[in-house]
């Protein structure tokens, strides 16, 4: 709204131009000036050979309101923060987000997305120009829907297994699993956290719990079978001895490695087997059977005599012709197999000497 003086000037037509307008980013279109930023712009008005500069202040369009509504969300979700800034032509509509107060939910705002790792309450502040809005969000857990054992339900008694769970959904918030033995525990099962061990073959029922959801499975514990064994006792012994039978087996941690021996044929040895002790009174061969777990082997043992090493006469070395002399002697060793002594006359200068019984 500018006019030239005098009113009767020959060339009163006024032209307009902007000078010193870079700070505000002002533009002139006809008789309309617009500006992008707050500041001052200089308007030059010229009519004929006369001009005059006018300084015009560009004022901001202040933010008057921020509109956004808080909503509940899960830890597995992200909330897009897209508040409405009023008026829509506000000069400084740039929004700044911040988390205020306790951040126990481990919330984070990145690229206008609000996320949290732990269920709870989080308060955020939205600020634009001089206006701010505080919003309270409730962060909910991602609940466990189902869980199932991921292990094989059969393992050997010599093994310890770490129980594994397939949890659905995979991003459930509380995935800590607790385990307990359910019902009878005749096999000596023991839980150390998620580690399961057993003393004997059999079955055991395990219950798993996570976030209020549970499941049960019955595990079968099988023996560690003997794969091979060998009788390592001596192949022979004397009648004066007692033979302890011994066996080696593989693997060393087999469940039932206790050998079972059976005397099949003692022959002429008068052999006996009792309490893992083999005895015999006469030389010969004994046939035996050994069983370990489900394996069987047959073997023979030779019984040798305990030989006489010396004989000592213990009777008198004289007697009268009117008498009979009973011959006695000691046989060594005392546990010799054959201790029956036979006597014979080698030389004699007596008349009609004889041995009878």
- CATH architecture of structural domain 65-140: Sandwich (2.60)
pLDDT confidence tier of residue 92, bands split at 50, 70 and 90: confident
Q: 256 near 293, Cβ under 8 Å? A: yes
pLDDT digits (tens, 9 = 90+) for 42-59: 988 888 889 899 998 989
Which residue is listed with tokens 């083999």?
A: 278
What does the pLDDT average to over 107-115?
A: 94
Q: 321 near 253, Cβ under 8 Å? A: no
Statement: residue 215 has pLDDT above 80: yes
- In angstroms, the CA 350 to CA 320 distance is 11
What does the pLDDT average to over 261-266?
A: 94
Please state the length of the chain: 357
pLDDT at 223: 93
What does the pLDDT average to over 250-273?
A: 92
pLDDT above 70 covers a percentage of the chain that reads 99
pLDDT at 322: 86
CATH of 228-304, one of 2.60.40.1080, 3.40.190.10, 3.40.640.10, 2.60.40.1930: 2.60.40.1080
What does the pLDDT average to over 239-262?
A: 92
pLDDT at 83: 94
Element (H, E) at 209: strand 202-210
End-to-end CA distance of the chain: give it in Å, rounded. Answer: 169
Which residue is listed with tokens 């269920």?
A: 119
- In angstroms, the CA 18 to CA 22 distance is 10
Statement: residue 163 has pLDDT above 80: yes
- In angstroms, the CA 70 to CA 124 distance is 10
User: What pTM was estimated for this model as a whole?
Assistant: 0.61
| Distances from the Cα of 239 to the Cα of 262, 289, 307, 308, angstroms | 19, 20, 10, 12
Statement: residue 1 has pLDDT above 70: no
Statement: residue 2 has pLDDT above 80: no
User: Is-same-fold flag (65-140; 146-222)?
Assistant: yes
Coil, helix or strand at residue 155: strand
Domain ranges of the chain: 15-58, 65-140, 146-222, 228-304
Residue 66 DSSP class: E
What does the pLDDT average to over 87-92?
A: 87
pLDDT digits (tens, 9 = 90+) for 293-318: 999 999 999 999 999 999 999 999 88
DSSP string, 242-271: -EEP-EEEESTT-S----EEEEEE-TTS--
pLDDT at 66: 95
* Closest by CA position to 21, among listed 72, 56, 47: 56
Structure tokens at 297: 């082997």
Cβ-based burial of 288 (10 A; exposed 0-12, middle 13-18, buried ≥19) = buried
- State how beta strands 260-265 and 284-292 pair: antiparallel
CA 146, 151, 152, 155 dihedral sign is negative
Statement: residue 355 has pLDDT above 80: no
Q: Evaluate whether the domain defined by 146-222 bears CATH number 3.40.30.10.
A: no
DSSP string, 74-100: ETT--EE--PEEESTT-S---EEEEEE
What does the pLDDT average to over 136-147?
A: 95
Which residue is listed with tokens 């008694």?
A: 157
Cβ-based burial of 243 (10 A; exposed 0-12, middle 13-18, buried ≥19) = buried
């Amino acid at each position: 709204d500018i006019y030239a003086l005098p009113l009767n000037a020959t060339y009163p037509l006024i032209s307009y131009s902007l000078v010193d307008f870079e700070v505000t980013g002002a533009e002139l279109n006809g008789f309309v000036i617009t500006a992008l930023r707050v500041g001052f712009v200089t308007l030059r008005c010229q009519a004929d050979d006369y001009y005059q500069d006018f300084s015009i202040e560009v004022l901001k369009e202040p933010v008057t309101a921020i509109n956004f509504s808080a909503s509940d969300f899960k830890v597995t979700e992200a909330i897009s923060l897209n508040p409405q800034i009023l008026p829509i032509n506000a000069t400084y509509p740039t929004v700044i987000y911040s988390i205020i107060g306790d951040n126990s939910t481990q919330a984070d705002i990145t690229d206008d997305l609000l996320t949290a790792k732990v269920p709870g309450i989080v308060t955020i502040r939205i600020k634009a120009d001089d206006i701010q809005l505080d919003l309270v969000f409730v962060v909910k857990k991602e609940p466990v829907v189902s869980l199932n054992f991921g292990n094989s339900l059969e393992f050997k008694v010599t093994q310890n297994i770490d129980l594994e769970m397939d949890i659905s959904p995979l991003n459930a918030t509380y995935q800590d699993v607790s385990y307990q033995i359910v019902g009878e525990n005749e096999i000596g099962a023991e839980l150390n956290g998620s580690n399961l061990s057993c003393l004997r073959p059999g079955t055991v029922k395990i219950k798993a719990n996570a976030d209020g959801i549970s499941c049960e499975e019955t595990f079968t514990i099988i023996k560690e079978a003997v794969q091979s064994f060998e009788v390592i006792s001596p192949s022979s012994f004397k009648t004066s001895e007692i033979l302890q039978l011994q066996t080696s087996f593989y693997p060393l941690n087999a469940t039932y490695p206790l050998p079972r021996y059976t005397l099949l044929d003692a022959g002429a040895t008068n052999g006996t087997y009792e309490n893992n002790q083999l005895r015999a009174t006469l030389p010969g061969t004994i046939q035996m059977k050994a069983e370990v777990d489900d394996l069987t082997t047959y073997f023979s043992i030779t019984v040798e005599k305990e030989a006489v090493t010396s004989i000592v006469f213990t009777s008198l070395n004289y007697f009268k012709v009117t008498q009979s002399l009973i011959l006695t002697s000691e046989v060594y060793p005392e546990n010799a197999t054959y201790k029956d002594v036979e006597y014979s006359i080698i030389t004699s200068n007596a008349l009609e000497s004889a041995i009878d019984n």
